[in-house]
């Protein structure tokens, strides 16, 4: 089999997605996601200018060799743009291989290790009452794990809380918006949210919380300690993680489980975090972390250190990535949990897929390959729209981590 065509589809069915379609001389094609939120066209151009011409004529079954060629062969290694581009090619190749062998991708990764993939939903509210209500509604819809975010009094536009009753969507069309941030107000407030959640909703539901990189390590340590009575499933991205030893400090002070890595793009970003057991869950996704090939190596390394996966799955990761994550999560042994932020109906129409949700778990379906397709005609009706993630400023105007 040979790759005969490599095509990029850039579309915006309610939000932007970059999708790679690799076609072969046997009529089989594979899809890969290349979406990097707010920097979409950088990856599109990296692929179309520098990667796709090199793929024509290659054997799509040679996944490892193509991965190494794109990684080592570029000389310039790592980085979100490069690793997202590599991921798109890699995932499309796994899709092709599954279809060619007439088996779902999970069978190529070791086969089913569990019945379904535990997922967590996003709940939020402008105040505690709304947030508790939102968690309750997600539990009623069948979710066993829910991330809770809440407006902080005196902090307009707190992270994770949508404006005007719309579902939360991280990127906004146009140029970057600005939010306000106060660590002091946040730290004083958050424990009361989780206290109320446990009092009202009981001990069973898995509760998660995303700090979104906003604290210093010692502030994060204080929060982790304060949240211990409420037994969180995890506290996510408590501080920026470029300095991996920050987590040693947090870890020393709290038994609240820690998750990080949605902005990571290779195992090297998490090497010390894993090796020193400073985290419990790794969030690096298949799309931003070099595809299934690199995720498998990273997860196997993490397994040696009791670290489990908790992959990023916000709406900026397309249904192609969701499908890949579900095949992966069904197969590997050290799977922990998968984020599930449902896409809009229009996105689901552009990307018809086999995966499904029932009673807290998702399943990738048993179609050959990834079980996800793209309706190119519909995609063409939804052209790219410039959109950015917002930035955040402290009350005195200093730019801080969003």
**Of residues 212 and 294, the one with the C-beta less far from ligand GCO:** 212
The position carrying tokens 């709406």 is 315
Q: Which is nearer to ligand GCO, 179 or 365 (CB)?
A: 179
Tokens, residue 258: 């820690």
| Cβ-based nearer residue to Mg ion, 40 or 210 | 210
**Interface positions, 34-53, toward ligand GCO (CB under 6 A):** 37
Tell the smallest beta-carbon distance from residue 60 to ligand GCO (Å): 30
CB 112, min distance to ligand GCO, A: 26
Site for ligand GCO in 326-385 (CB under 6 A): 339
Scan residues 295-334 and list those touching ligand GCO (CB under 6 A).
314, 316
Nearest distance from residue 75's CB to ligand GCO, in Å?
28
- Active site includes 120? no
Binding to ligand GCO by CB under 6 A, coded x per residue (else -) over 183-212, reads ---------------------------x-x
Catalytic site residue from 106, 120, 159, 230: 159
Q: How far apart are CA 114 and CA 331, in angstroms?
A: 7
306 classed as catalytic: no
Which residue, 100 or 263, is less far from ligand GCO as judged by CB? 263
- How near is the Cβ of 215 to Mg ion at its closest, in Å? 13
Binding mask 141-170 for ligand GCO (x = CB under 6 A): -----------------------------x
**Least distance (Å) from ligand GCO to the CB of residue 116?**
21
| Residue with the shortest CB distance to Mg ion | 210
**Least Å from the CB of residue 133 to ligand GCO:** 21
Q: Which residues contact 299 (CB under 8 A, 6 or more apart)?
A: 282, 309, 328, 332, 334
Which CB atom, from 261 or from 360, has the smaller least distance to Mg ion? 261
Q: Which residues have C-beta within 8 Å of that of residue 31, sequence separation ≥ 6?
A: 19, 20, 21, 22, 91, 92, 95, 320, 370, 372, 373, 374
What would the x/- binding string for ligand GCO be over residues 96 to 135, using CB under 6 A? ----------------------------------------
373 binds, among ligand GCO, Mg ion, none (CB under 5 to 8 A by kind): none
Contacts of ligand GCO in 259-288 (CB under 6 A): 262
Residues near Mg ion (CB under 5 A) are 210
Q: How many chain residues are in contact with ligand GCO, going by CB under 6 A?
A: 9
Catalytic-role residue among 122, 209, 212, 353: 212
**Active-site residue set:** 159, 212
Contacts with ligand GCO, residue ranges (CB under 6 A): 37, 170, 210, 212, 262, 314, 316, 339, 389
């Amino acid at each position: 089999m040979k790759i005969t065509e490599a095509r990029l589809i850039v579309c915006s069915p309610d939000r932007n997605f970059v999708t790679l379609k690799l076609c072969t001389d046997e009529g089989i094609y594979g899809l890969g996601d290349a979406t990097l939120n707010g920097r979409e066209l950088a990856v599109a151009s990296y692929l179309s200018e520098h990667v796709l011409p090199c793929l024509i004529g290659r054997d799509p079954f040679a996944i490892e060799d193509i991965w190494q060629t794109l990684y080592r062969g570029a000389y310039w290694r790592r980085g979100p743009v490069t690793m997202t581009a590599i991921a798109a090619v890699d995932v499309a190749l796994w899709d092709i291989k599954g279809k060619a062998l007439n088996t779902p991708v999970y069978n190529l990764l070791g086969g089913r290790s569990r019945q379904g993939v535990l997922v967590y939903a996003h709940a939020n509210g402008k105040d505690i009452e709304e947030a508790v209500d939102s968690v309750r509604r997600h539990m009623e819809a069948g979710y066993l794990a829910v991330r809770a975010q809440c407006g902080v009094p005196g902090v307009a536009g707190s992270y994770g809380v949508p404006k005007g009753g719309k579902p939360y969507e991280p990127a906004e069309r146009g140029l970057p918006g600005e939010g306000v941030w106060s660590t002091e107000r946040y730290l004083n407030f958050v424990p009361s949210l989780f206290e109320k959640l446990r009092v009202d909703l009981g001990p069973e539901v898995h509760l998660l919380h995303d700090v979104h990189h906003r604290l210093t390590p010692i502030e994060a340590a204080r929060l982790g300690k304060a949240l211990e009575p409420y037994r969180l499933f995890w506290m996510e991205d408590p501080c920026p993680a470029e300095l991996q030893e920050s987590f040693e400090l947090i870890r020393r002070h709290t038994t609240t489980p820690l998750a990080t890595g949605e902005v990571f793009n290779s195992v090297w970003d998490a090497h010390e975090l894993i090796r020193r057991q400073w985290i419990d869950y790794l969030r690096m996704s298949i799309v931003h972390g070099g595809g299934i090939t690199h995720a498998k190596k990273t997860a196997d390394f993490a397994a040696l250190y009791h670290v489990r996966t908790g992959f990023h799955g916000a709406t900026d990761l397309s249904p192609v990535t969701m499908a890949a994550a579900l095949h992966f999560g069904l197969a590997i042994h050290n799977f922990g949990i998968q984020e599930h932020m449902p896409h809009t109906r229009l996105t689901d129409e552009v990307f018809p897929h086999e995966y499904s949700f029932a009673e807290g778990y998702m399943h990738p379906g048993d179609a050959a390959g990834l079980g996800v397709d793209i309706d190119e005609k519909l995609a063409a009706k939804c052209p790219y729209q410039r959109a950015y993630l917002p930035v955040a400023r402290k009350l005195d105007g200093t730019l801080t981590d969003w």
